[in-house]
Amino acid sequence: MPEIATPSDVVLDVRGLTKNFGGLAAVRAVDLSIERGSVHAIIGPNGAGKTTVFNCITAFVKPSGGTVVLDGARIDGLPAHVVAAHGIARTYQNVRLFANMTAIENVMVGLHRRLSVSFWGVVLRTPAFRHEEDAAREQSRAMLDFVGIPHRAGTLARNMPYGDQRRLEIARALVSRPTVLMLDEPAAGMNPAEGVALVHLIERIRSELGITVILIEHHMRVVMAIADRITVFDRGAVLTEGTPAEIQSDERVITAYLGRRATAADVRTVERLSEEESVA
Ligand SMILES: Nc1ncnc2c1ncn2[C@@H]1O[C@H](COP(=O)(O)OP(=O)(O)OP(=O)(O)O)[C@@H](O)[C@H]1O
């Protein structure tokens, strides 16, 4: 793939991304520039195309058109595991864990691409394999610690509380030390206290691990607390982009969510709710 010149502060650059499902244009010529080291939120009404954009970037679905550049290299058109190896990790809208494996085993799965031992090394459990496995276990334990669930290491994923399962998914994505972490609705199903804890965790992912975070999220409290920039999707296209302050007073955004033209009273209500949330 050819090298593409992008400003060094842009870690992920998406141009003209398009995805059609039969006659449905789910994503229409989307441009997205993600700044290195930022937390970038993607919001928009149901069906706006947010998850499809994630799926196109991570090669879970094949885009109909457009380019995706990570750290200066084209990654569109590559298989999903190669995109992951280039440094993009993700979580899913619905938790996807190996239910009958322990937490630490689930995290170790996130490292399997890093293992260098041959197939026979694994089968025969050679010393080289055992050495790598020990190292992988240690890194995985450290990552469970980082996300705040070290005490769950030996617990089967299916027996863990939902909030911890979501943390476990994040640990599995982080253990490969990606450049970009993409979280699809990480606060879904969380109570307000878990939402606050998630905000702190995302802050630490950025500040302590230096990983750029892109998240799709419906919980505006989480988005407004954490995002440096927000891109708003509507009907497959980018409606607008800006800082949290710019977005929450943008009438077009309120209109997209309401499905009708926003009135002055709607704008005042959103501003009042945002103020109440920020002091809560
Ligand atoms: N595999 C698929 N086959 C056909 N249509 C699809 C497929 N995946 C998504 N779509 C459609 O594409 C559109 C965008 O869906 P998408 O899931 O990306 O939206 P979203 O913004 O993530 O919504 P939500 O917030 O509800 O998750 C929807 O109309 C959806 O029904």
265 alpha carbon – ligand 1 mean position (Å): 31
Residue carrying the six token digits 């979501």: 166
The predicted structure's pLDDT at residue 38: 95
Q: Which residues partner with 43 through β-bridges? A: 232
Mean pLDDT, rounded, for 125-151 = 87
User: Which residue from 249, 280, 277 is spatially nearest to 262, judged by alpha carbons?
Assistant: 249
Residue of 20, 28, 50 best suited for mutating to test ligand 1, as the one with most atoms within 8 Å of CB: 50
Assess contact for 16 and 30: CB atoms under 8 A.
yes
Rounded-to-integer distance, Cα 15 and Cα 154, Å: 44
Mind listing the pLDDT tens digit for each residue in 32-57? 999 999 999 999 988 999 999 999 99
State the ipTM, two decimals. Answer: 0.95
124 alpha carbon – ligand 1 mean position (Å): 45
271 alpha carbon – ligand 1 mean position (Å): 30
Angle in degrees, CA 25, 31, 36, rounded to 5: 135
Hey, whose CA ends up nearest to atom 17 of ligand 1? 51
- Ligand 1: lining residues by beta carbon, under 6 Å: 21, 24, 26, 44, 46-52
Hey, whose CA ends up nearest to atom 28 of ligand 1? 47
Measured on CA atoms in the order 105, 203, 189, 184, is the torsion positive or negative? negative
Mind listing the pLDDT tens digit for each residue in 98-114? 999 999 999 998 887 55
Assess contact for 195 and 216: CB atoms under 8 A.
no
Domains in the chain, CATH or no CATH each: 7-87+180-260 (3.40.50.300), 98-177 (no CATH)
Question: Is residue 208 scored above 90 in pLDDT?
Answer: yes
Hey, whose CA ends up nearest to atom 7 of ligand 1? 21
Q: Is 16 left (phi over 0), alpha (psi -120 to 50) or beta?
A: left
82 alpha carbon – ligand 1 mean position (Å): 24
